[in-house]
Structure 1
Amino acid sequence: MSVVVGGATSVVLPRPGGGTVRHRPNDPGPWTRPAGPFRERIAYAAAHVAADARGANAPGAPAAVDWGATMAFRRHLWSYGFGVAEAMDTAQRGMGLDWSATRTLITRSAREARAVGGAIAAGAGTDHMPAARTLEEIRCAYAEQVAFVQDAGATVILMASRQLAAVARSPLEYHEVYAPLIEMADRPVILHWLGPMFDPALTGYWGSGDIADAADSVLTLIAQHPGRVDGIKVSLLDAALERQVRDRLPAGVRLYTGDDYNYPELIRDEGGRHSDALLGVFAAIAPAASTALQALDRGDLAGFDALGATTALARHLFAPPTQYYKTGIAFLAWLSGHQRGFTMVGGLQSGRSVLHLAEAYRLADELGLFAEPERAARRVAAFLQVAGIDQ
């Protein structure tokens, strides 16, 4: 296991290309919690689910969730000023989290949000009806989940649908499905443009494989429903495209960046324009991101710009194949003490290599993200020992 050097636990990490290096953990960073939500930006953290370490979380099996740890993690995010984006792709929608567990997740999280006064938005999709094959069947599937999310008390996020991507052949067919959903919601909705790097089944979303035409499609949809769309989350990992979409949005409609590569520059004021945020990476870097957003509230741009130091970790976590970023998020949550073990619903803990996870630990530790660095070191050492990296 890990050894003690000079009073501090150290861990042997594998090097890319071979060999090992001994790493001594860093101290926690100078993170602070805000008194309430951020003032200058709306910021949602898309939260993962903690699997039950004693559950049969194998590929294809029903999700066994540790509800206590999962809710505690949401309270952790609210305590740092974030809203929680619930039941999104970060929570393994379409990659292990079935609809039965999703319903429980939304219900419990909305109840927790009311208890602590935290903001919550939740994903509504069509994943409970994988056999939907017509536009009307898909619309009805969406409508069922929209009703469930808003009955729970959460803002509706209209998630991208694999079923719709497989069936729709034009922008008009997307609009035919989305328009009544936008109008039926009891408050303005958030749209979600999730790129194929996150889910290859969503290639050509909004009715075109040409990204400019796809942008025209969704912008037209938003313009046709004034006052009914709160914003759109753009998860394409393309800062230039996000800016183009942002510049064309109607007044009052927010661009929620989902760009886990370029978020500091997009959130920062850029000549009077900025993106708000709905990011999976915030689940991993909550203390650092919160401290930066608090600096922005004070007008301290230098303090906010310190957020740029987190992008090396973010780019590592979201490296291709990007859809497996959830594995790194859950790994860091375990190292941070937010869950009992490193296991995931659907067995997704196998989604990243030992080398990748060791590097995620190193980058997170260099940022000072671990409140108890020696616990994180002990846990990563135990993980690596089992994987064959002698400590």
Structure 2
Amino acid sequence: MAPSTETALFVVRERAAGERRVAATPDSVRRQVATGRRVLVEHEAGAAAGFPDEAYADAGADLVDATDAGGATLVARVAPPSLEDVNRLSPGTVLLTFLAPHRNLEVVRALADGGISTLAMDLVPRITRAQAIDALSSQANVSGYRAVIEAAHALDKYFPLFMTAAGTIRPARIVVLGAGVAGLQAVATAKRLGAVIHVSDIREAAREEVASLGGTFIEVPDIEDATGEGGYAKEVGAGFLERQRAVLTEFLGQANAAITTAQIPGRPAPELITREMVEAMQPGSVVIDLAAADGGNCALTEVGRIVEHHGVRIIPGNDFPSAMAGESSALYARNVAAFCDLLIDDEQRLQLDLDDEVVAGSLVTHEGTVTAPKIAELLGGKDA
């Protein structure tokens, strides 16, 4: 892509149902404007997250309507765009967004056909130099925290141990499935509230991290380290899953809440809790499924509604970051600003360095093609 003589960043007002976050806050705008960057913010883009237009104007942004942002060379948003959103973009635009490309193949095709260069915030490589850009981790932190708060609210039980004149109340027992960023934040939050936490993960590296936060690692017979690319878990065989489910059923039967966080980038979430495992849980207990958007870790999870089965409530957690829109937006805005710093040089020219592993790893569409190999394969061929 040829360098642009002027870089204007356009921050979109989100239109997806239930999405309250925004891709820039007044604070992140102020920092970017201080570097010489021009920032356009769509009217009321931050209203749902608690950031009024006046705060953006005071930070140096230009407030515009969606139709007045034609001069923007770089567009930032949170939720994956709709086909209508894609049609508003000019050829040659660089788009920063969560994309979930494996769930939005039609949108990916439209982005490629429209000549849009799309950098997916959910595909940023998990490497040291990309930590400031890692939006998946920043939002997973929010999800893990919120999952515990939701569980505490849903349960008819104290989390901590209470010793009273009327007797002792035992602490809540929590099972966390998956010890990635969200899972570890859930462990830390539940521990602060005084719960007893058991954690299941198929990555050997998770054992020490769980212990350091006060959780107990669930042992599975004949476990094999299943650490995959980028520190994520990789798929395991049916035999291991059967052994894991047998062990988890025992722990779930004693638990008050289960929080599931296991996801594999670009693929449906693994089913870790079957219908039968839910039926083994105590009536009144809850399952908080943070992988709901990718099909869920629980067989009974449904996006958009709470399912009750045998007295157990299964609560989808796909919208937890949006439920804490102010904090989530502040974190995401810093991720976006850090990505802009990588893409824009000291002379305020926008350039995509395809040899940069962060750019290359995040790039899904560019110059009319789908550049992400796995997504191109899903669309029917390389360079789809």
Q: TM-score, normalised by structure 2?
A: 0.34
| Higher helix content, 1 or 2 | 1
Higher alpha-carbon Rg: 2
